[in-house]
Amino acid sequence: MQNKLLVTSSPHLRTRNDTAQLMRDVIVALIPALIAAVWVFGFRALLLTLISAGACVFFEWGFRKLLKRSNDITDFSAVVTGILLAFCVPVTLPVWMLVAGDFFAIVLVKQLFGGIGKNFMNPALAARAFLFSWPQSMNNWTEPRWYHSNFFTPGTADATTIATPLAFIGQGNLPENASIFDAVIGNIGGSMGEVSAVALLIGAGYLLWRRVIDWRIPASYLGTVAAITLLLPLGGLTRTDSLFWNLFSGGLILGAFFMAVDYTTCPVNPTAKIVYGVGCGVITAAIRAKGGYPEGVTYAILVMNAVSPLIDRYFPRKRFGEGGKRIPLRNITPDLLIGLLKKGLSAVRKNRMVVVLAIICAAAAIALGAVNSVTEKPISDNLRDKSEAAMREVFASSYYDEIEFDAARHPLVTRFYEADGGYVAEVAPNGFNGAVTLMVGICADEGNQDKYLTISGVAVVSHSETSGLGAEAQNPDWLAQFVGNRHSELSKDGGSIDALTGATITSRAVVSGVNAAIALVTDAENISGAASATEDQLAKEDVYAK
């Protein structure tokens, strides 16, 4: 027995709480949000979360097996990554895309840097940023409880897409499709795990109570966003609306309590944690207010992840027994100030590289800002000229009055104008490579029954399709096929429009945009009490006519 006594360095006691226990606590804390996700988005939410967690564990195990490294899937960290990634994508995301995200998170972000504790970015958020390579899939938000009675449906074909509350807030408007109560319980559009503020806060409370996370990062993060949105409300929002909607919609709560506090990628020193949280808050608020994208949490946290080691180094804790003496006001003399200045200068000299880098970054940012402010007006003028030319091209009229329409019912339409004897709609369907902006003219002269509610012309305003393939959509000869149609369909889908060679996706996009314009005009005519044809009826008539 004596030979078996183990000799190691002290201490000889260790807490029961190991990495696996901490990760299990995080999983427990995510369960309320999972329940909320299943209630809001149906069975598919649970399915996707389980698939994502399973895929992460599989990739972690497989990669380490392949490299003959010690396997540690029992620490549950891959499960946490899988759940978190599932929580920050829409329920409509195809399964293969989610699994690709899991692969990116585990293999590229986590394991290639050495596994747990070594990655420099939050794997789930980096994978989310990666999945934005498919912007249309990542911005495909369904209405809450889209599954209606069909809870177990694994597909999302019946889902109606809606805009998230933040899409309205970012424009300075109040959300039209949700109340404050909806946002608190989660009855809104958004990523699977982010919608229910109350479920997330229950989980966050559990983590704080179990001391799995520290209060400093969430508090400084949420506090900063709250302060900025309260002081600088966007557009016509009241201060309280701005504060409330910014805090309770979008991924802020999920980000602050589950992502920004990710151990590996946040600082460990108390002051550094506050600096980090404030940084996350400022970037989030800035992206939401000024960015072309309604949500800012992902990129804010990723940017702060990258600078977290620097923050940790430059905001260390005070050494035990050193400094900390407060200088009484009357003792502040010129000599003292000069001494402080000298101290500061020597600190700058010591950290020259950081200072130089900061100056270069600041200069680059200022230069970018300057270029932007100089070119902003010419670019927007240019675009307006182009749009006006296209409007004249598709429907000749002496006037074009912009009128309002139901954006939630007609998500593809971006602008709508009334003209002399017709309408012009600007639509932006998603093509092969982002939005294709089209101008569609429609006759609405009731005196001319043959041409009533038919296309008078289609023009492409802007696109980023592949040259020689999708870009051929600009060809006036091809666009001329739409003229005179009520409902259009590609020939391969049983209609009359010949698809562009090698660019079916672009062709379908144009068709869907044109049909969306007709549907909107039909609505507009209905409201004004004219012909009572719905899109479906019109389509049927078209078929019967053939």
Partner 1 sequence: MNNLFYGGIHPFDGKELTRYSPVKILPPPERLIVPFQMHIGAQAKPQVSPGEEVRLGQILGEINGAVSSYVHSPVSGKVAAVEERLHPNGRMELSVVIDNDGLDTPHESVCPTELPDPSDAGYSAAVVEVMRNAGIVGMGGAAFPGHFKLQSGIGKADTLIINAAECEPYITSDHRTLLEVPDEVLFGVRTLTRALRLDSAIIAIEENKDDAIKVLEAELRGASDIKLRVLPTRYPQGAEKQLIQSVTGRLVPPGKLPADVGCVVFNVYTAWSVWRAVCRGIPVIERVVTVSGPAVESPKNLLARMGTPVRNAIEEAGGLKAGVRKVLLGGPMMGNAIYNLDVPVIKGTNAIIALFPYQTREKDDNKCIHCGRCVSVCPMRLQPLYMYQNERADNLDALRRLNLNDCMECGSCTYICPGRVNLVQAFRSGKAKLRAATQ
Binding site for partner 1 (CB under 8 A): 1-19, 21-22, 70, 72, 77, 115-117, 214, 263-265, 267-270, 312, 316-322, 324
Query: 315, 351 in Cβ contact below 8 A?
Result: no
The rounded distance, in Å, linking the Cα atoms of 203 and 125 is 19
Residue closest to 517 by CA, chosen among 419, 388, 429: 429
The rounded distance, in Å, linking the Cα atoms of 203 and 209 is 10
Q: How far is CA 367 from the centre of its chain?
A: 27
Residue closest to 294 by CA, chosen among 388, 488, 164, 427: 164
User: Of 117 and 154, which CB lies nearer to partner 1 in the complex structure?
Assistant: 117
- Least CB distance from residue 122 to partner 1, whole Å? 12
User: Of 322 and 450, which CB lies nearer to partner 1 in the complex structure?
Assistant: 322
Residue closest to 512 by CA, chosen among 451, 448, 425, 391: 425
User: Of 80 and 252, which CB lies nearer to partner 1 in the complex structure?
Assistant: 80
Those residues with Cβ within 8 angstroms of residue 336's Cβ, 6 or more apart along the chain or in another chain: 327
Residue 121: DSSP 8-state: S
3-state secondary structure of 413: strand
- Least CB distance from residue 307 to partner 1, whole Å? 15
- Least CB distance from residue 117 to partner 1, whole Å? 4
User: Of 18 and 420, which CB lies nearer to partner 1 in the complex structure?
Assistant: 18
User: Of 312 and 472, which CB lies nearer to partner 1 in the complex structure?
Assistant: 312
Query: 271, 278 in Cβ contact below 8 A?
Result: no
User: Of 286 and 348, which CB lies nearer to partner 1 in the complex structure?
Assistant: 348
Interior/surface letters 46-70, b for 16+ CB within 10 angstroms, e for the rest: bbbbebbbebbbbbbebbbeeeeee
- Least CB distance from residue 107 to partner 1, whole Å? 18
3-state secondary structure 474-512: HCHHHHHHHCCCCCCCEHHHCCCECCCCCCHHHHHHHHH
User: Of 25 and 472, which CB lies nearer to partner 1 in the complex structure?
Assistant: 25
User: Of 214 and 523, which CB lies nearer to partner 1 in the complex structure?
Assistant: 214
Query: 538, 487 in Cβ contact below 8 A?
Result: yes
User: Of 12 and 377, which CB lies nearer to partner 1 in the complex structure?
Assistant: 12
- Least CB distance from residue 279 to partner 1, whole Å? 17
The rounded distance, in Å, linking the Cα atoms of 55 and 313 is 36
- Least CB distance from residue 106 to partner 1, whole Å? 16
Q: Which two tokens stand for residue 405?
A: 């329409």
User: Of 116 and 192, which CB lies nearer to partner 1 in the complex structure?
Assistant: 116
Residue spans of alpha helices (H) in 326-475: 334-350, 352-394
User: Of 75 and 194, which CB lies nearer to partner 1 in the complex structure?
Assistant: 75
| Angle (nearest 5°) at CA 232 between 227 and 235 | 140
Q: How many helices and strands in the chain, by DSSP H and E?
A: 19, 7
The rounded distance, in Å, linking the Cα atoms of 387 and 426 is 9
- Least CB distance from residue 7 to partner 1, whole Å? 4
User: Of 20 and 371, which CB lies nearer to partner 1 in the complex structure?
Assistant: 20
- Least CB distance from residue 278 to partner 1, whole Å? 18
- Least CB distance from residue 58 to partner 1, whole Å? 20
- Least CB distance from residue 514 to partner 1, whole Å? 54
* Alpha-carbon dihedral sign for residues 237, 239, 240, 245: positive
Query: 405, 527 in Cβ contact below 8 A?
Result: no
The rounded distance, in Å, linking the Cα atoms of 3 and 198 is 57
Residue closest to 246 by CA, chosen among 219, 220, 228, 260: 228
Task: Work out whether strand 413-419 and strand 400-402 pair parallel, antiparallel, or are unpaired.
Answer: antiparallel
- Least CB distance from residue 78 to partner 1, whole Å? 13
- Least CB distance from residue 266 to partner 1, whole Å? 8
- Least CB distance from residue 219 to partner 1, whole Å? 15
Q: Which two tokens stand for residue 257?
A: 């309590």
User: Of 269 and 414, which CB lies nearer to partner 1 in the complex structure?
Assistant: 269
The rounded distance, in Å, linking the Cα atoms of 532 and 364 is 58
User: Of 1 and 329, which CB lies nearer to partner 1 in the complex structure?
Assistant: 1
- Least CB distance from residue 251 to partner 1, whole Å? 23
